[in-house]
Chain A
Amino acid sequence: MHKVIIPVGPQHPALKEPENFMITLSGEKILKFSARLGYNHRGIEKACEERTYIQDVYLTERICGICSHSHSTCFVQAVEEIAALEVPKRALYIRTLVAELERVHSHLLWLGVAGHEVGFDTLLMYTWRDREVVMDILAMLTGNRVNYGINTIGGVRRDITPEQSKEVAKATNTLEERTKYYIQIATKETTLIKRLSGVGVLSHDDAIRLGAVGPTARASSVDRDVRRDDPYAAYGELKFKVITDNHNDVYGRTLVRMGELMESYSMIRQLLKNMPEGPIAVKAPRKIPAGEAVSRYEAPRGEDVHYVKSNGSEKPERVKVRAPTLANIQTVAKMLEDRQLADLPIVIAAIDPCFSCTDRLTVIKEAGVRKNKVMSWEDLHDYSIGWYRERGIDFAGLNKKLTRMLK
């Protein structure tokens, strides 16, 4: 059959963000899917290098408006590690509380968008109405509905009063009740189950091979969650289950997110109950000592990684962000192979894409060489050793030590 290439985006009713997808079709069947990112690239990493650490906290918050707390916490954690700051326990609890409330708002938002993409607009209106409850709570705790600005280097900026925690507890009960209703819809409503089952299938092996993260990976029974595997903030002291599912499809991803909502409510209750007394921040130095750190954070969409390198001045030397959607976008091409065009919006929406997080890419092409160079793992390894050796750092000794240790 004749092949047709359909461009979707950067302006398209099915997309909320400016991205471009080229879909090669044969009839209704998708042969090839390719994504062109970069419409949302603002140059935040470079801007971080030109601003002070405290300004960067606000800048990293604006990498993404939906998981804003994830990015700022991830950045702040890395800086605190370099500066060896002992963050007060109460600050960690407040951070975790806002993080879980953010997960609730993000997952409810996703459920609505997913409903909209499959033509179930009633679900969109219902979930977004209930989402306002958690938005009110966030506005009350932090002072803003979306970009909370609660983090600062060395702690948090606002304390939580007993009255506020009562309000949060009340809202959590309301939300839990509503979520139970949505779980009932997701597990009983035949039209929704039929529409989502068997769509966007990603096998367990593919999820691992393509490096999927977050609910996308967990719905393909990849049992991976930074909150449990590498606890940060107050997660080490909380009891929670990591939700996995073996449906491998969009339906599985819906169930995982619904399950995570219920876990979040239980975590919020534990945080409110065990909130320790004490200060909410320690004083951070204006100049951060030289060093580097990698920080991991389980954002609502998956693992978020920040790398910060400091050179002893008041501005960082390098900030690198790896947002969860960058890890997940590769899986979309796999999910769409030989599928129908009509499945495209929901399959893209099912990874809960956030392209403003993802547009950190820079492609480096060697000058004068037309073709892209493909480096094997060994080449890359040698290249990195050579790069460090030029700068006076030798890994050869370290490597031997590591091999010995592994043996």
Chain B
Amino acid sequence: MGLIQKTVNWARLKSPWVLHFNTGACNACDIEIIAALTPRYDLERFGVVLKGTPRHADVLLCSGPVTKQIKCRLQRIYDQMPEPKFVVAVGTCSCSGGVFDGCYNVESGIDQAIPVSAYIPGCPASPKAIIDGVVKLLSSLETK
């Protein structure tokens, strides 16, 4: 690994910018994601900042089973993110469809639409689990 590549990698690991996208969730995982960013859990101490646009984001935090209406939007948002990009599926619904698996309007999980790097189960995934998942994702990138 060259010096420049090393520096870029270091910078990326110290400031992963995330985009939160609700793909048909019940809001529970979404408020837990926000709760993870607020003072009690404070995900920002790992350099994680919530961004408003996919073009600024390194990590896409998805919650919810993918509804049929949102599927092409999700793929579009994924395409808009710059490389390298990572997707984290937050909550049981986004991992496997969860309680909504088998409903006529949902796919069973994010990985039906886009490739996923990390799965965080839980209904809803607690802020602690979200932090753990994000940290695990980041430490797995360190070795690459």
A residues at B contact (CB < 8 Å): 10-13, 16-18, 38-44, 46-47, 50, 58-59, 62-66, 68, 109, 112, 124-125, 128-129, 131-132, 135, 145-147, 354, 356
B residues at A contact (CB < 8 Å): 20-32, 34-35, 38-40, 52-54, 64-65, 67, 69-70, 73, 77, 99-100, 102-106, 123-124, 126
Q: Which of B31, B64, B67 contacts A66 (CB 8 A)?
A: B31
Rounded to whole angstroms, the CA-CA distance of A146 and B25 in the bound complex is 13
Q: List 8 A-B contacts (CB under 8 A).
A: A18-B70, A39-B69, A42-B24, A42-B100, A43-B103, A131-B35, A135-B35, A146-B31
Q: Which of B31, B77, B103 contacts A42 (CB 8 A)?
A: B103
Rounded to whole angstroms, the CA-CA distance of A11 and B55 in the bound complex is 12
Tally of A-B residue pairs with Cβ under 8 A? Answer: 115
Rounded to whole angstroms, the CA-CA distance of A109 and B35 in the bound complex is 10
B53 proximity list for chain A (CB < 8 A): 13
* Contact assessment for B27 and A65 in the assembled complex, using a CB-CB cutoff below 8 Å: yes
* Contact assessment for A128 and B24 in the assembled complex, using a CB-CB cutoff below 8 Å: no
* Contact assessment for B105 and A43 in the assembled complex, using a CB-CB cutoff below 8 Å: yes
* Contact assessment for A65 and B67 in the assembled complex, using a CB-CB cutoff below 8 Å: no
Rounded to whole angstroms, the CA-CA distance of A63 and B54 in the bound complex is 27
Rounded to whole angstroms, the CA-CA distance of A129 and B39 in the bound complex is 6
* Contact assessment for B38 and A147 in the assembled complex, using a CB-CB cutoff below 8 Å: no
Which residue, A17, A41, A50, has most C-beta atoms of chain B within 10 A? A41
9 nearest interchain CB pairs? A65-B28, A13-B52, A128-B38, A65-B27, A43-B103, A129-B39, A146-B28, A43-B105, A65-B26
Q: Which of B22, B29, B39, B99 contacts A59 (CB 8 A)?
A: B99
* Contact assessment for B104 and A43 in the assembled complex, using a CB-CB cutoff below 8 Å: yes
The main secondary structure of chain A at its interface with chain B is: loop
A145 proximity list for chain B (CB < 8 A): 32, 124, 126
Whether A18 touches B24, Cβ cut-off 8 Å, given contacts A128-B34, A128-B35, A128-B39, is: yes
Whether A146 touches B23, Cβ cut-off 8 Å, given contacts A39-B69, A39-B70, A59-B99, is: no
Shortest C-beta distance, A344 to chain B (Å), equals: 15
Rounded to whole angstroms, the CA-CA distance of A11 and B67 in the bound complex is 14
Q: Name the residue on B nearest A37 (C-beta).
A: B69
Shortest C-beta distance, B18 to chain A (Å), equals: 13
Beyond A11-B54, A65-B124, A147-B123, 9 additional contacts (C-beta under 8 Å) are A16-B27, A18-B24, A43-B103, A43-B105, A46-B103, A62-B28, A66-B28, A128-B35, A131-B35
Rounded to whole angstroms, the CA-CA distance of A145 and B127 in the bound complex is 10
* Contact assessment for B29 and A65 in the assembled complex, using a CB-CB cutoff below 8 Å: yes
A68 proximity list for chain B (CB < 8 A): 26, 28
* Contact assessment for B102 and A47 in the assembled complex, using a CB-CB cutoff below 8 Å: yes
Rounded to whole angstroms, the CA-CA distance of A201 and B27 in the bound complex is 27
